[in-house]
Amino acid sequence: MNLSAPIHRPSLHEELVDRLREMIVEDHFQPGEKIPEKSLCDSFGVSRTPLREALKVLASEGLVVLTPNRGSRVATVTPEELANTFPVLAALERLVGELSAARISDSEIAHIRERHEAMVRYHKERDRSAYFMANQDIHSAILRSAANPVLEQHHTALASRVRRARFMANISDDRWAQAITEHGEILAALEDRDGARLGALLSNHLLNKFAALQRALEGVSDAAE
Amino acid sequence: MNLSAPIHRPSLHEELVDRLREMIVEDHFQPGEKIPEKSLCDSFGVSRTPLREALKVLASEGLVVLTPNRGSRVATVTPEELANTFPVLAALERLVGELSAARISDSEIAHIRERHEAMVRYHKERDRSAYFMANQDIHSAILRSAANPVLEQHHTALASRVRRARFMANISDDRWAQAITEHGEILAALEDRDGARLGALLSNHLLNKFAALQRALEGVSDAAE
DNA sequence: TGACCGAATAATGAATTCAAAATTAAAAAC
DNA sequence: GTTTTTAATTTTGAATTCATTATTCGGTCA
């Protein structure tokens, strides 16, 4: 690690932004749930000032909704918003693929291959949770290898808003198998360092995931009618 | 206007975020300039609390840089950051083109054609400022016609961070003429509602602009050596 | 019983206050 | 005269306080 890098002592509100974002993305709150300032302040042991600053930042990221004089709630993700978000993320994924193929190192590829093989095993074993982790690792390793902080930042912001969606509908066996196939192709394109192909594959991978999700959600709402 | 829309009374910090963002994007501050809380509070007639909330939001948008215990400065845009931002914007522009072609109305196209023709006149008259306005109008009309708020939000955020760049180097006559040509092609693709073509044209238009900007900046730094 | 009103309570928005850190100014040493 | 040390001032980070707006609860009246 770079010892001469400037030390960054995070201020309270930064700390709170990170903690709260983590809690929201990792589903410690229900979507739409009210966020009471008082009790949160108590549990974090801070005053309302930095907490409110953090909430405003999270609101600008779209993770929280502020209603004047009525406090803040965890943002809900509507199907319409999903439909708007996925194409944007897919557009970014294409760029991720193009940049990653041009910039990724051999050791990064080796690491991804290793996680890929683990993921295939988890699929065979039907270990959803381990699968999700490996999948996550692979995608964030590719994103990092694109070496573009601006891209990374916006990708992460968008992804965190739809992350919750993966809990909304359980993935079908068919889609799961298809995803594994797609991941195989992605790894191949990565090892070939074929940017155009990798970008297309990553983009389609995401759009297919969205299509599967939409089918699952429609099924749910149909059943509810 | 929709009279039954819910009234939105903005809180102080929202108001401040908008005002400050406008001021930063429209170059009322020097890049890197210190933002003294006290004097800003005085000029806005508010206390530090809402101002600091606003600064934190702007920092998360990347327009302001906060250094703990040392206050806030207007973010500077480094060449490296430009190089990271333009490809991301270009990726979004492609999606804008695809969506816009599919969704834009005849009257929106008519409006854009009107602004386009005005812009061509301004080019002939060498009226840079009017040209910039018309150009801006066209691009934001296309963006709006894509009818995707998520896309719009991220596009706007990225664009505002590089907007300042247009002041950094004056556009060359060659590039200006080329831009006009590209705009003609964009309008044609729009009227044909050819999404793939429009997306490619918009994306390349932006990347060409960036290339011209980079050449101009290199020229500047070379001259300074 | 249940809809409506009003007081009590709680939550929020924003100003103020206080403590810690940084900056500036002044004094001392070389 | 320049650099270093130290004190004063300013600026920032965060807690507290105050005013305003919601919400809840209890009571009234149909």
CATH of the domain at A156: 1.20.120.530
| Closest residue of chain B to A12, computed from CA coordinates | B68
> DSSP secondary-structure letter at A28?
S
Q: In terms of domains, do B151 and B183 share one?
A: yes
| Alpha carbon of residue A4 to chain centroid | 31
List the single best residue of B16, B67, B80, B88 to mutate versus A (max A Cβ within 10 A): B88
Nearest to B148 among A53, A84, A151 (CB): A84
Residue B2 lies in a domain: no
Flag whether pLDDT at A3 surpasses 70. no
User: Are residues A102 and A62 both part of a single domain?
Assistant: no
Same-domain check for residues B203 and B103? yes
Q: Does some domain include residue A1?
A: no
We report the CATH number of the domain holding residue B51 as 1.10.10.10
DSSP track, A183-212? HHHHHHHHHHT-HHHHHHHHHHHHHHHHHH
Q: Where is A73: in which H helix or E strand?
A: strand A71-74
Three-state secondary structure call for residue A93: helix
Q: Do A110 and A167 sit in the same domain of this protein?
A: yes
Residue A3 lies in a domain: no
Answer yes or no: is pLDDT of A93 > 60.
yes
Q: How confident is the model at residue A163 (pLDDT cuts 50, 70, 90)?
A: confident
Query: Along the 225 residues of chain B, how does pLDDT read in single tens digits?
Result: 555 566 677 789 999 999 999 999 988 999 899 999 999 999 999 999 999 999 999 999 999 999 999 999 999 999 999 999 999 999 999 999 999 999 999 999 999 999 999 999 999 999 999 999 999 999 999 999 999 999 999 999 999 999 877 766 677 899 999 999 999 999 999 999 999 999 999 999 999 999 999 888 776 554 443
Q: Straight-line distance from CA A115 to C1' C29, in Å? A: 65
d(CA A180, CA A134) in angstroms, rounded, equals: 12
Tell me if residue A65 falls in helix, strand or coil: strand
Q: For chain B, what is the domain count?
A: 2
Cα angle value A214/A219/A223 (rounded, 5°): 150
Confidence of residue A40 (pLDDT cuts 50, 70, 90): very high
* B32 lies in the same domain as B83: no
**Would you tell me how many other CB atoms lie within 10 Å of the CB of residue B153?**
16
Torsion of CA A53, A59, A64, A70, to 10 degrees: 70
Do B174 and B103 fall into the same domain?
A: yes
Domain hosting residue B32, numbered range: 12-74
List protein-proximal bases of chain D (any atom < 7 A from a CB): 11-17, 21-23
Nearest-Cα distance to chain A for B86, in Å, is: 9
pLDDT score of B218: 73
- pLDDT of B223: 43
In a domain, B41, yes or no: yes
Name the least confident of A149-163, A165-179, B186-200: A165-179
| pLDDT at residue A224 in the model | 42
* A167 is a domain residue: yes
Question: Which pLDDT belongs to residue A171?
Answer: 79
Beta strands in B16-141 (DSSP E): 34-35, 64-67, 71-74
Vertex A180: Cα angle to A178 and A186 (nearest 5):
105
Query: How many other C-beta atoms lie within 10 A of the C-beta of residue A215?
Result: 13
Does residue B7 belong to any structural domain of this protein?
Answer: no
**Statement to judge: residues A115 and A204 lie in one domain:** yes
For residues A3-23, b (16+ Cβ closer than 10 Å) or e, as one string? eeeeeeeebebbebbeebbee
Question: Considering the domain boundaries, does residue A83 fall inside one?
Answer: yes
With an 8 Å Cβ cutoff, are A99 and B91 in contact? no
Q: Which residues from B are below 8 Å from A when comparing CB atoms?
A: 8-11, 13, 17, 49, 52-53, 56-57, 59-62, 66, 68, 81, 84-85, 87-88, 91-92, 94-95, 99, 148-151, 153-154, 157-158
The share of chain A scoring above pLDDT 90, in percent, equals 81
Residue in A66, A112, A209, A54 with CA at minimum distance from that of residue B56 = A54
Q: How far apart are CA B21 and CA B37, in angstroms?
A: 15
Task: Classify residue A191: in a domain, yes or no.
Answer: yes
